[in-house]
Chain A
């Protein structure tokens, strides 16, 4: 016979509370993110443009998860620290969005590699001067199966 740990939220009777009213219920699985200093499963990639890059593809970051499965993860692209108003790219100057972001002929591309992911900056033109811009990505990689 298996046992169950239940901890109710304030004001709720643990014996009768619905799962939504429990802080913890060991009968339900959770998303789990390994805590690690050597290979952080949650982190930030902070990209600063010192100059306006020539046309090309630039590898910004490679993450390898070292897990036996293909994990579920999500990545936020964060424009909220941008040093310039991106309205020239028809984008809001602040914001967070999942995964890829494309503006004008520039793009940040997240690519799944099976054993992790890469983040690239793709410059198809130098029309939009990226000098002094900065952006960041926030990633969270869970051990849960993603496929």
Chain B
């Protein structure tokens, strides 16, 4: 029988972490939140469209070695690859709607990096036609010697006047931090509720991404606009990564 109770479930920690005390960012998976599942990946030319049959606007990336990562504009049938140059894109379409609200629980735990332990313990699911003994992680859909992106939340809905903070009263959408770290995130704006366009910090005019200095929130600044927004957050900390310091 299905249960909404997050205290019941299954979880597995990343290498080196005790599953009983690991925080959410150090779990390989938990039944309380979804992994990002790849629906399709292939290469295609810049400026082209890729059809999908998900019937919702999915999270999708386009990447190549020259232009780097672009989050794609999407609708319920098509992924729009950007046109920045001429190098073909590798695209990833995920089984993750950008316009359906989701909130996972926060599991706090130690934040320091672990000392990695023996890799002989874990879980792996090999792709059809590949060997379970393979050392190439591409041969597996799941492999606990790796980390895979996990969804923390999707904040979505109609744009409205923002509450307390640097942008109080401005039209937009905001994520107020509930995690003990800054996460990887992606922001979308939709004027018509059909096509969802990625939003960045670079744009000089709304829609753009701002950061609230008061509460460290991530803000979709949509001043003067109407429509809907979405802020997708992963359980991938930006603040806890191994650091290389350089001084000029």
Interface string of B1-37 (1 = CB under 8 A from A): 0111110111000111000000000000111111111
Task: Return the chain A residue nearest B65 by Cβ.
Answer: A112
Contact B202 A97 (CB under 8 A): yes
A25 neighbours in B (Cβ, 8 Å): 35, 37
Would A48 and B34 be within 8 Å (CB), given that A35-B145, A43-B241 are in contact? no
B243 neighbours in A (Cβ, 8 Å): 43-46
Interface string of A36-80 (1 = CB under 8 A from B): 110010111111111101000010110000001110111110101
A146 neighbours in B (Cβ, 8 Å): 63-65, 90
**How many Å lie between the Cα of A60 and that of B10 in the bound state?**
42
- Interface residue from A26, A68, A140 paired with B142 (Cβ < 8 Å): A26
Q: Check B96 for interface membership: any CB of A closer than 8 A.
A: yes
A145 neighbours in B (Cβ, 8 Å): 41, 90, 138
Contact A35 B116 (CB under 8 A): yes
Contact B248 A58 (CB under 8 A): yes
**How many Å lie between the Cα of A138 and that of B136 in the bound state?**
25
Contact B248 A74 (CB under 8 A): no
Would A30 and B15 be within 8 Å (CB), given that A143-B137, A143-B138 are in contact? no
- Interface residue from B6, B116, B238, B248 paired with A37 (Cβ < 8 Å): B116
Would A11 and B2 be within 8 Å (CB), given that A28-B39, A43-B241, A72-B63 are in contact? yes
**How many Å lie between the Cα of A2 and that of B96 in the bound state?**
25
B147 neighbours in A (Cβ, 8 Å): 32-33, 35, 42
B202 to chain A: closest CB distance in Å? Answer: 6
Contact B238 A78 (CB under 8 A): yes
B242 neighbours in A (Cβ, 8 Å): 37, 40, 42-44
Q: Check B86 for interface membership: any CB of A closer than 8 A.
A: no
Contact B69 A99 (CB under 8 A): yes
Contact A23 B68 (CB under 8 A): no
**How many Å lie between the Cα of A70 and that of B87 in the bound state?**
14
- Interface residue from B2, B29, B37, B211 paired with A13 (Cβ < 8 Å): B2
Task: Return the chain A residue nearest B236 by Cβ.
Answer: A140
Q: Check B149 for interface membership: any CB of A closer than 8 A.
A: yes
**How many Å lie between the Cα of A50 and that of B248 in the bound state?**
6
- Interface residue from B65, B113, B184 paired with A70 (Cβ < 8 Å): B65
- Interface residue from B65, B143, B201 paired with A147 (Cβ < 8 Å): B65
Interface centre among A68, A80, A98 (most CB of B within 10 A): A98
**How many Å lie between the Cα of A79 and that of B100 in the bound state?**
30
B37 neighbours in A (Cβ, 8 Å): 19, 22, 25, 28-30
Which residues of B are at the interface with A, using a C-beta cutoff of 8 A?
2-6, 8-10, 14-16, 29-39, 41, 43, 61, 63-70, 90, 92, 95-97, 100, 113, 115-116, 125, 127-128, 136-138, 140-143, 145-149, 184, 200-202, 209-211, 213, 236, 238, 241-248
The 10 closest A-B pairs by CB, nearest first: A112-B65, A99-B68, A28-B37, A95-B201, A32-B146, A26-B125, A74-B69, A30-B148, A11-B4, A44-B241
Q: Could you name 22 residue pairs across A and B whose Cβ atoms are closer than 8 Å?
A: A2-B128, A10-B3, A19-B95, A23-B10, A23-B35, A29-B37, A29-B141, A31-B92, A31-B148, A33-B147, A36-B116, A42-B236, A45-B243, A72-B92, A74-B68, A76-B184, A94-B210, A98-B68, A121-B248, A146-B63, A146-B90, A147-B65
Other A-B pairs, 6, CB within 8 Å; known A49-B247, A146-B90: A30-B37, A30-B142, A51-B248, A72-B63, A97-B201, A98-B69
